[in-house]
Every structure is written in structure tokens, then in C-alpha cells.
């Protein structure tokens, strides 16, 4: 099946008992056992639930892998994946990464002796040289949050394989519709399904995907042991969102491309970060490994414009955390999504104070542009 068909018929399609075309919500904690030691295959919903199972099969199919696992949030999925490691292990992370991923390593896993090191993963020889004996995994995001840094997944997977360590890819920004890291050599893919996969800003969910049988068994064990599972209703909601991922992503890209080109030529913008812009730094590698630039744009607002006035002048674009919904959302990484990263690290990696991050939604692109134009006009200092 091709991707557009998989989105609708992948995983477990409908209900074999009734013919319902929508997977039923199995809102149950437990399952009747017909006799001692004889179950339907489901025994307790932390361990397994048919609605969640349908979603887990679906994300595995979409990523071209064998095993999917659904969690209560992206951070719960990342926490489960990081629970594969033990005291003394070190994980290399990209210099741009979701603030929460940095925070859980820095403030939680650090207490259990799991170390991290920030490395510019776009620099392949530097990355290769940083893999010492204690390094057990490389964790990347591409395009990375919030500067859209593009890392070459296939090249990094070769480095990981050479050192016999795992490559973990956070594929939240691209989704499997645009990029399938497992097929490029990644071992583990994680998602905040809260974003594009859910797509409607009405759900918090996370997914992890692996292809290796041993890894699949270990992650399933961790999922069941630590218990951060996605509930049946939310699993159903996410399946529902994923069905329209293809049409949504196509429009996200069309709108984002239009807005990125508008921003690139605006005097109020010093720099635009969007991997779909020809000639931009990550364009070539992104085009090689993904079939589009996605819907996320960051830009540096010129100092002649007042940052506060700019945000407060927007009427259609909503100021808020998160991304990937049908509505355009804007945020201020330095004080919002990336506030948990210390000031000096933020400066070093380029998350400056006048950086703006925009999740381009599915509204009419001319209305989004008009809203930005109005905000530029209202925030120009006189
Ligand atoms: C939002 C996000 C997360 C965390 O996911 P939650 O669902 O909010 O827990 C992880 N990675 C990226 C890239 C994100 O944008």
C-alpha cells in the first residue's frame, strides 16, 4: 500500500466483529478469561488494549517498521525510550532539540547516572569523534527545534552502526508522511503525536517505533512496567487524526512555503529558517531524506520592531505553545518552548531572544500573510 492508502487502511482496519469501519473504542480495563490461563490475548489494558493496539500497528506500518507503542505524551514515549539505558551510559543529543527532551535528560535521567552530551550533529566528523566507549545512543531531531537544523539521518545512522550504538530520531516535525527514519537506518523513532499526527490541538499523545525484535520486546516490557500508556479514547482520536494527515501535510507545506517566501523578502525579518527554502542551509539534505519542508518556520525579527507588540498584534495566528494543529500557532522559544535550556546554551546554539517560531496552519494563506503584515506594521518602532 502507498502512504495515502496506509494512512486510512493501515494498522487494524475497522472492526471484524461488526463491520464498523471505525475502530471501536474498547473502554475497558480488563478482559474476561474463559478459564484459568485462557485469555483472548488481552488480559489488562495497561498491557494491551485493542484500540491502542490498532494505533500501534498503524504507526508501525506508517514508519515502515514492525513495532509501535503508544504513550500518554511525547515525553512519556521519550522517557520509555530513555529507560532502555542504564547508569554510566551516555547519550549524544543534537545542539537543537525539544526543550523537554533536554530537561528530562538534564534533570531526571541525570539523577540515575545516565549522561548526555550536546554535539553539533550536522558536523559528521565531529560527531564520529565524540562517540566514546560510554556513548550508547545518538538522539537527533531533524529538522530540529527551533532553528530547523537538518541532520543527515542516513549518514548519522552509518556512524551509529559503525560504533554499534542506537540512533534515535524524533520525527515529530516531519511525520512519516514526509520522512521515514527507520528506512534510512534509524533504530528508534519517537513522536509527539500531540502535533501533526493528531493535528487538531485536542490531544496529548506520544509514539515510539522500532523494527528490531529485541528492541521491540524491551520497549513493550518498559511500556507495561512503567505504565505511561495512551488511553483508548485518545488512541481512537489519534487514529482519526492520522487518516487526514496526507491532505493536511500537503496544505501545511503549501502555506508554509508561501509564508516563508513572504518573510524572506520582508524588511522586518533578519533571517528565515525553513528547510523548504531553496538555497537555505538544510535544503539539500532535507530534500534528499524528506519529501517536503514541513509546516514550521522560525525567523529573527529585526530589532526595529518591538517583539511584544508584534505578538500582541496578531489576530488570526494564536500565541501559544505547541504546533502542528489546523490553526496557526506562534511562540517565543526563548521564554516558552526552550526556556528550560540555560541562557548561555541558548545563545551558543542560536536561540536568540528575538527568534519567533511559527507553526503555519491550514487557514487561507493570504489571511495568514495579512495577519503577519498587520503585526509588522503595528510593531515598527517610531
Ligand atoms: C512537543 C514535542 C515533544 C514532547 O511531546 P509532548 O506530547 O508535548 O509530551 C517532543 N519532541 C518534539 C519535537 C516536540 O515538538
Give the model confidence (pLDDT) of 50-67 as tens digits: 999 999 999 999 999 999
In angstroms, what is the span from residue 206 Cα to ligand 1's centroid?
Answer: 8
Is the minimum distance from the CB of 74 to ligand 1 under 6 angstroms? Answer: yes
Which atom of ligand 1 has the smallest separation from the CA of 194? 7
Query: What is the residue with the minimal CA distance to atom 4 of ligand 1?
Result: 74
Is the minimum distance from the CB of 73 to ligand 1 under 6 angstroms? Answer: yes
Is the minimum distance from the CB of 294 to ligand 1 under 6 angstroms? Answer: no
Query: What is the residue with the minimal CA distance to atom 2 of ligand 1?
Result: 192
Residue 187: CB atoms within 10 A of its CB come to: 23
In angstroms, what is the span from residue 144 Cα to ligand 1's centroid?
Answer: 12
pLDDT of residue 268: 96
Average pLDDT, integer, range 132-147: 96
The tens digit of pLDDT for each residue in 172-181 reads 999 999 999 9
Sign of CA dihedral 359, 350, 186, 288: positive
For residue 337, name the pLDDT band (cuts at 50, 70, 90): confident
The tens digit of pLDDT for each residue in 240-249 reads 999 999 999 9
Which atom of ligand 1 has the smallest separation from the CA of 205? 7
pLDDT > 90 in the chain, percent: 92
pLDDT value at 339 more than 90: no
Query: What is the residue with the minimal CA distance to atom 5 of ligand 1?
Result: 74
Which atom of ligand 1 has the smallest separation from the CA of 76? 9
The tens digit of pLDDT for each residue in 194-213 reads 999 999 999 999 999 999 99
For residue 232, name the pLDDT band (cuts at 50, 70, 90): very high
Is the minimum distance from the CB of 109 to ligand 1 under 6 angstroms? Answer: no
Q: Domain ranges in the chain?
A: 25-243, 246-379
Query: What is the residue with the minimal CA distance to atom 6 of ligand 1?
Result: 74
pLDDT value at 338 more than 90: no
pLDDT of residue 134: 98
Which atom of ligand 1 has the smallest separation from the CA of 100? 4
For residue 163, name the pLDDT band (cuts at 50, 70, 90): very high
For residue 345, name the pLDDT band (cuts at 50, 70, 90): confident
pLDDT of residue 210: 98
Average pLDDT, integer, range 34-63: 96
The tens digit of pLDDT for each residue in 347-373 reads 888 899 999 999 999 999 999 999 999
The tens digit of pLDDT for each residue in 272-303 reads 999 999 989 899 999 999 999 999 999 999 99
b/e for 160-186, b at 16 or more Cβ within 10 A? beeeebbbbbbbbbbbbbbbbbbebbb
Query: What is the residue with the minimal CA distance to atom 7 of ligand 1?
Result: 74
Is the minimum distance from the CB of 192 to ligand 1 under 6 angstroms? Answer: yes
Report the C-alpha gap between 380 and 310 in whole angstroms.
Answer: 8
pLDDT of residue 350: 86
Is the minimum distance from the CB of 141 to ligand 1 under 6 angstroms? Answer: yes
CATH topology of domain 25-243: 3.40.640
pLDDT of residue 369: 98
> Rounded mean pLDDT of the chain?
96
Helical axes 213-226 vs 74-82, angle rounded to 10°: 120
pLDDT value at 108 more than 90: yes
Report the catalytic residues: 46, 98, 170, 195
Residue 155: CB atoms within 10 A of its CB come to: 18
CATH topology of domain 246-379: 3.90.1150
Q: Which residues are CB-neighbours of 364 under 8 A, at least 6 positions away?
A: none
Amino acid at each position: 500500500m502507498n502512504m495515502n492508502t496506509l494512512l486510512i487502511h493501515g494498522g487494524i482496519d475497522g472492526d471484524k466483529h461488526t463491520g464498523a469501519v471505525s475502530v471501536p473504542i474498547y473502554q475497558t480495563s480488563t478482559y474476561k478469561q474463559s478459564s484459568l490461563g485462557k485469555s483472548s490475548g488481552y488480559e489488562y489494558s495497561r498491557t494491551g488494549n485493542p484500540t491502542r493496539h490498532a494505533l500501534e500497528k498503524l504507526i508501525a506500518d506508517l514508519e515502515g517498521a514492525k513495532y509501535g507503542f503508544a504513550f500518554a505524551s511525547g515525553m512519556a514515549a521519550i522517557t520509555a525510550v530513555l529507560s532502555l539505558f542504564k547508569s554510566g551510559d551516555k547519550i549524544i543529543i543534537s545542539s537543537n532539540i525539544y526543550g523537554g527532551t533536554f530537561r528530562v535528560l538534564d534533570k531526571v535521567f541525570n539523577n540515575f547516572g545516565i549522561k548526555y552530551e550536546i554535539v553539533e550533529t550536522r558536523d559528521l566528523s565531529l560527531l564520529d569523534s565524540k562517540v566514546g566507549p560510554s556513548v550508547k545512543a545518538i538522539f537527533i531531531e531533524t529538522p530540529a527545534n527551533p532553528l530547523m537544523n537538518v541532520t543527515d539521518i542516513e549518514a548519522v545512522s552509518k556512524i551509529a552502526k559503525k560504533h554499534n550504538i542506537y540512533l534515535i530520531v524524533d520525527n515529530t516535525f516531519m511525520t512519516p508522511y514526509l520522512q521515514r527514519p527507520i528506512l534510512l537506518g534509524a533504530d528508534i523513532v519517537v513522536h509527539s503525536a500531540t502535533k501533526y499526527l493528531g493535528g487538531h490541538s485536542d490531544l496529548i499523545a506520544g509514539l515510539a517505533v522500532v523494527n528490531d525484535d529485541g528492541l521491540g520486546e524491551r520497549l513493550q516490557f518498559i511500556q507495561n512496567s512503567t505504565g505511561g500508556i495512551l488511553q483508548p479514547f485518545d488512541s481512537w482520536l489519534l487514529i482519526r487524526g492520522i487518516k487526514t494527515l496526507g491532505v493536511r501535510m500537503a496544505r501545511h507545506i503549501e502555506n508554509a512555503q508561501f509564508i516563508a517566501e513572504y518573510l524572506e523578502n520582508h524588511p522586518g525579518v533578519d533571517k528565515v529558517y525553513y528547510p523548504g527554502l531553496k538555497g537555505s542551509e538544510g535544503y539539500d539534505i532535507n530534500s534528499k531524506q524528506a519529501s517536503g519542508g514541513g509546516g514550521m518556520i522560525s525567523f529573527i525579527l529585526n530589532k526595529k520592531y518591538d517583539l511584544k507588540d508584534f505578538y500582541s498584534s496578531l489576530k488570526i495566528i494564536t500565541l501559544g505553545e505547541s504546533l502542528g494543529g489546523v490553526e496557526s500557532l506562534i511562540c517565543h522559544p526563548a521564554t516558552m518552548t526552550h526556556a528550560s535550556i540555560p541562557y548561555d546554551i541558548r545563545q551558543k546554539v542560536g536561540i536568540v531572544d528575538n527568534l519567533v517560531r511559527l507553526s503555519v496552519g491550514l487557514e487561507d494563506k493570504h489571511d495568514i500573510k495579512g495577519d503577519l503584515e498587520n503585526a509588522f506594521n503595528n510593531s515598527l518602532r517610531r
